[in-house]
Amino acid sequence: MLPSRSLISTFAQALALAAVLIAVGWGLQRVSWRWDLTEDRLYTLNQTSLDLVDQLESPLEIRLLLSGSLPPRLRAVAEHIRAMVDQYAAHGGDRVRVIEVDPDGDDALVAELKRQGIAKTNVNLTDNDRVEMREIWFGMTLTYEGRTEKFPSMGAIENLEYDISGAILRLLQPEHLTVALVGPAFSYGQGTHLFTPEGNMKRACAELAMLYDVRFVPIVSGQPLELEGVSAVFAWGLHYFEETHLYQLDQYMMQGFPVTLLVSGVDVDPVFASASPRGEVLADRYLAHWGLRVGRDLVSDYRCTKVKYTATRPPVLKDYYLFPELLAELGGLGREFAAHRDLSSLVVPWPCSLTLTGEVDLASRVIGQTSDQAWLQKEPFVLDPANLPGPTEFSTFPIGYEISGRPRSFFAGPPEGYSSETAHLSEGPFNRVLVWSSEHMLTQVRQGSTLVWLSQTANYMTKNHLLAGIDRREQAFRPIRTMDADRRASLRWQSVLYAPAIVLGFVLLRGMMRRSRSVDAYRAANDEADAR
């Protein structure tokens, strides 16, 4: 029995519709617009990024430097990067141009990239159980009004949208604000743990350098602080400041400039795992002038991070109570505090207790506190993870405060022997001072969230919130999932074929139901005729 003409017509219509849908799906993959159904919103730009693109007054050129044949594990990364920059181009229109080029074979381009400090990236390839080193192009440049931001290796980009938008922001602001890191260049052990940009502060300086010019201002006896042109300050080691250093910092704040103070009442040596309380010095009276007292103790907390304990073989991870982990969901990061927006957690190394004296007419609020499972460790201090003393009683301890208001100078006038071209300021305009009871927050970067805290604190002090809200891996409660090239290809074909398959099934079912109704009507008519 030959199929009916109506069934053939139904099949033809279904095939035609499927062909159209396949063509539309394939075409949509060739344009930058997409409907982002990913759980992590991987292909949707934050409104902050869109606002930055709107500020472009001249064309922005995004150049992807990719070798023609990429290793399989980098193809998926390249696809994700292409999809992301296409979103910038889609929103920017003629103001954003994306160019993909393979520099191999173009000697002039290779020479230009070499002058810019961009070279090939070394990658390891495994073939037949043999590891081979190969050089490939895997970089990116952003050029705007004659200025260029470079990413020599895109494989090192951990926060794609944040880093690209940060590069656009730097291009829009040719004159960067300056953030100063002020404090003594502490060293421990054999001098391997240094409070310097080349030492343990290297990661912190690199984070700040994404948006700011970073100036390291060491505390040197008899030498003044170079704070001219500085927009904000992170200062530590106040107990080692000379009177003239404290005076300069005080007058800097009287001018209305913001400061974050990292203070401690305990000297901690991370190399020899030893600690000792500090004596009372001028810095303690200076902190009391701001209404704060730092304790000669160390705060421990059951809510903490783990550290690698190397005294055993093999090394093991142990809870380290002296590194409390503050959680935003438990109120540990100051509710409604703008500098901690989108920050989920923060590890504070070796904090001391921080209490209000209540003797000043300034507003205060807690911006960091432990859980309610915290306690104090008194002298003699034990830093060894295997022998940490347990709790005596539990409580919640503030370890971070914001002090705000119109401050008065701690000093009645310049210290004896100090000369300055500017007049002494006895009071200043409304200002904010952030105080944390840990001097090691810039050197003990135990988690990526510390870098997020550092960046957002600098933005808060300088009122530079242009990158606020863009997701970063370090501040996520769960990691962003990744997938290999084969999985991406499989999902791509599924997205192209599933919709036509569903439509085809619907059309066939509809045709069968219509045919069934026609047969039933024919039989009913025959039965009625037979009855007559």
pLDDT of residue 234: 98
Is the pLDDT at 367 greater than 50? The verdict is yes
Average pLDDT, integer, range 66-93: 88
Question: Is residue 482 in a domain?
Answer: no
Task: Indicate the residue among 448, 475, 502 that finishes a domain.
Answer: 475
Q: How far apart are CA 163 and CA 140, in angstroms?
A: 11
Average pLDDT, integer, range 469-492: 53
CB 82 within 8 A of CB 43: no
Average pLDDT, integer, range 265-275: 91
Average pLDDT, integer, range 355-360: 86
Q: How far apart are CA 453 and CA 448, in angstroms?
A: 9
User: Can you give the length of the chain in residues?
Assistant: 532
Is the pLDDT at 79 greater than 60? The verdict is yes
Are residues 266 and 333 located together in one domain of the fold? yes
Q: Report the percentage of the chain scoring pLDDT > 90.
A: 44
Q: Label residue 479 by pLDDT band (50, 70, 90).
A: very low
Are residues 23 and 118 located together in one domain of the fold? no
The two structure tokens encoding residue 319 = 């809870």
Average pLDDT, integer, range 487-495: 64
* DSSP letter assigned to residue 2: P
Question: Is residue 32 in a domain?
Answer: no
> What pTM was computed for the model?
0.69
Question: Is residue 254 in a domain?
Answer: yes
Structural domain span for residue 400? 175-475
Is the bond preceding 380 in cis, omega lying within 30 degrees of 0? yes
pLDDT of residue 434: 97
Question: Is residue 480 in a domain?
Answer: no
Task: Indicate the residue among 154, 170, 186 that finishes a domain.
Answer: 170
Residue corresponding to tokens 């010095």: 281
Taking phi over 0 as left and psi of -120 to 50 as alpha, with beta for the rest, 131 belongs to: beta
Q: 314 exposed, middle or buried (CB, 10 Å; 0-12, 13-18, 19+)?
A: exposed
Is the pLDDT at 381 greater than 50? The verdict is yes
Q: How far apart are CA 186 and CA 204, in angstroms?
A: 16
Q: Please write the tens of the pLDDT for every residue from 236-252.
A: 999 999 999 999 999 99
Is the pLDDT at 274 greater than 60? The verdict is yes
* DSSP states along 339-393: GGTT--EEE-SS---EEE---SS-EEEEEEE--SSEEEEPSSP---TTS----SS
Q: How far apart are CA 264 and CA 381, in angstroms?
A: 14
pLDDT of residue 466: 59
Average pLDDT, integer, range 32-56: 70
Domain CATH for 151: 3.40.30.10
Are residues 181 and 144 located together in one domain of the fold? no
Are residues 282 and 148 located together in one domain of the fold? no
Residue corresponding to tokens 């009916």: 4
Query: Among 8-22, 167-181, 418-432, 433-447, where is mean pLDDT lowest?
Result: 8-22
Q: Label residue 477 by pLDDT band (50, 70, 90).
A: very low
More confident residue, 476 or 8: 8
pLDDT of residue 491: 61
Average pLDDT, integer, range 391-414: 94
Task: Indicate the residue among 127, 150, 170 that finishes a domain.
Answer: 170
Question: Is residue 125 in a domain?
Answer: yes
pLDDT of residue 518: 61
Sheet holding 345-347, edge to edge: 304-309, 316-327, 345-347
Are residues 250 and 399 located together in one domain of the fold? yes
More confident residue, 1 or 471: 471
Are residues 222 and 321 located together in one domain of the fold? yes
Is the pLDDT at 9 greater than 70? The verdict is no
Are residues 419 and 520 located together in one domain of the fold? no
Are residues 212 and 316 located together in one domain of the fold? yes
CB 403 within 8 A of CB 364: yes
Domain CATH for 425: 3.40.50
Q: What are phi and psi of 352, to 5 degrees?
A: -105, 165
Q: Is 429 helix (H, G, I), strand (E, B) or coil?
A: coil
Q: Label residue 37 by pLDDT band (50, 70, 90).
A: very low
Average pLDDT, integer, range 223-238: 94
pLDDT of residue 476: 41
Are residues 467 and 494 located together in one domain of the fold? no
User: How many Å separate Cα 78 from the centre of its chain?
Assistant: 21
pLDDT of residue 229: 92
Are residues 150 and 200 located together in one domain of the fold? no
Question: Is residue 349 in a domain?
Answer: yes
* Distances in whole angstroms, Cα of residue 221 to Cα of each of 20, 119, 218, 320: 78, 43, 10, 36
pLDDT of residue 478: 35
Question: Is residue 35 in a domain?
Answer: no
Q: Label residue 132 by pLDDT band (50, 70, 90).
A: confident
More confident residue, 137 or 261: 261
Are residues 328 and 193 located together in one domain of the fold? yes
Q: Is 132 helix (H, G, I), strand (E, B) or coil?
A: strand
pLDDT of residue 493: 67
Q: How far apart are CA 274 and CA 300, in angstroms?
A: 16
Sign of CA dihedral 381, 387, 392, 394: positive
Are residues 232 and 196 located together in one domain of the fold? yes
Question: Is residue 422 in a domain?
Answer: yes
Count of structural domains, the chain: 3
More confident residue, 472 or 68: 68
Average pLDDT, integer, range 214-238: 94
Is the pLDDT at 440 greater than 70? The verdict is yes
Average pLDDT, integer, range 479-493: 55
CB 291 within 8 A of CB 359: yes
Query: Among 26-30, 186-190, 317-321, 353-357, where is mean pLDDT lowest?
Result: 26-30
Q: Label residue 475 by pLDDT band (50, 70, 90).
A: very low
- Looking at every residue in the chain, the average pLDDT score rounds to 83
Q: How many CB atoms lie within 10 A of CB 414?
A: 17
